[in-house]
Structure 1
Amino acid sequence: MFFLSDMLNRKLNLPKPSEALPGRAKAIATAPRHFVSKRPLKGPYPDGLETAMFGLGCFWGAERLFWQTDGVWVTAVGYAGGITPNPTYQETCTGLTGHAEVVLVVFDPQTVSYADLLRLFWESHDPTQGMRQGNDVGTAYRSAIYTSGDAQFQAAGASREAYQASLRNAGHGGITTEIAPTPAFYFAEADHQQYLAKNPHGYCNLKGTGIGCAMPAATS
């Protein structure tokens, strides 16, 4: 029983640097191109495009939401927000790397705004669940927005306040979403990239609250 409780505690609490797995100096292998669009995952990206990063549970279903959005040039899944350099999927799932499963979104702001992406993020999962998303339990499945620049940081914070008000009015709890400047991003293994395009009937646990997100004027 102690062993099981210790394992659960590790999955629900971010590790200290002294507890984190060592990782490796060399990046793990990933796919060179997006399975659907055939565009390069690691760039170079065309001039004028911007990047965003979101964690909303298992990254398989989350990535599909974004690559299906008009104006999104390419997406990739990976690990961010933790300690271990160049972690593997198996290592991240232990909770001992500190990373969240995230989606890197490269988008054209002339076609899809950052506010549009924030709305999709908030409405596609339950941001009140802490270190889990539905049946997926652990720090890897926490809700997170990692921002590129001050404008994204301010917009993300304003949208969180607005959505919290809507959730509270509907009887939901407090939002636990982490908002922070973009940390190091580690591309996940090739088999995880665009997983649901390769496995159309694969696992997807995403489920929103059913509450719409009315974006504040500053982020629209």
Structure 2
Amino acid sequence: MFLGRKQTALVAPEQTLPGRSERPWHLSERHAVLDAPLVTDTAPAGHEVAIFGLGCFWGAEEVYWQVPGVWSTSVGYAGGDTPHPSYEEVCSGRTNHTEAVRVVFDPAVVSYADLVKRFFEVHDPTQGMRQGNDVGTQYRSAIFYEDEAQRDTALEVIQELDRDGPWDDPVVTTVELLVSFYPAEEYHDEYFRRNEGQPYCQVVVAPKVGQFRQRFAYRMKSASREAGGV
């Protein structure tokens, strides 16, 4: 992804970039894979929203749209101080945002707890401001909750993982109240599906997505359709 300066610590809010009053770029109207609107403010009736930061959002989005019960996904920036930041600004480390995926889901089909568990199954939550060779504040592991129920669920899962999880090091995922989510530029939407041949996608994203597909093939949308499900 972006090869600029690697900022590995958050900066003071007063030192972040000023940003802008409104988004200066166009957004896709629909999700090309799921054929659902790329909602940015509200979710349809009966649906809920979960927001996760787990490294590069190209692979994160691909992982989540394969989960039965997920209605739509979109990528963007969360957890920072700069309003309507650009991708280059986020990668500079001077906005305090992390790359994130916004998941709109039907809790009657998939629970928030299950989405949180998937979050921990597809990345390393012990690495701090990085994921593998992707280093910088924009790659930190974070869960952004919308209410106390989501917060409590995330903290319970982390407590279980710290006690029984596969890692020697402690989980450093932050659990933060969602203040804002800024949609990323249109070219980031469904990036991996449209750019699988790109070197970064082949080396970094594809192995993560492939691991997920192999591990959860029986619970992915294609398997559910074959079984007569959603």
Report Cα offsets for 1:47-83 as digits up to 9, x if no partner: 1000000000000000101011110000000001001
AA in 2 matched with 1:24:
R
Counterpart of 1:183 in structure 2 is 179
Counterpart secondary structure, 1:12:
coil
Alpha-carbon separation, structure 1, partners of 2:178 and 2:167: 31
Shift of residue 28, structure 1, vs aligned partner: 3.3
Which structure 2 residues correspond to residues 95-114 of structure 1 after superposition, within 5 A?
Answer: 95-114=93-112
Counterpart of 2:189 in structure 1 is 193
Q: Is 2:74 aligned against 1:76? A: yes
Alpha-carbon separation, structure 2, partners of 1:142 and 1:86: 19
Counterpart of 2:34 in structure 1 is 37
Alpha-carbon separation, structure 1, partners of 2:148 and 2:21: 30
Shift of residue 171, structure 1, vs aligned partner: 5.3
Report Cα offsets for 1:115-168 as digits up to 9, x if no partner: 11011100100000000000000000000000121111100000001011123x
Alpha-carbon separation, structure 2, partners of 1:28 and 1:127: 33
TM-score between the two structures when normalised by the length of structure 2: 0.82
Counterpart of 1:216 in structure 2 is none
Shift of residue 198, structure 1, vs aligned partner: 1.2
Counterpart of 2:146 in structure 1 is 148
Counterpart of 1:129 in structure 2 is 127
Q: 1:18 aligns with which of 14, 37, 44?
A: 14
Shift of residue 38, structure 1, vs aligned partner: 2.4
Which ranges in structure 1 are unaligned for 5 or more consecutive residues?
1-6, 213-220
Q: 1:165 aligns with which of 160, 163, 166?
A: 163
Q: Is the 8 A contact 2:48 2:107 kept in 1?
A: yes
AA in 2 matched with 1:201:
G
Q: Percent identity?
A: 47
Q: Which runs of 4+ in 1 moved over 2 A?
A: 43-46, 204-208
Counterpart of 1:217 in structure 2 is none
Which ranges in structure 2 are unaligned for 5 or more consecutive residues?
216-230
Alpha-carbon separation, structure 2, partners of 1:157 and 1:138: 24
Alpha-carbon separation, structure 2, partners of 1:155 and 1:171: 20
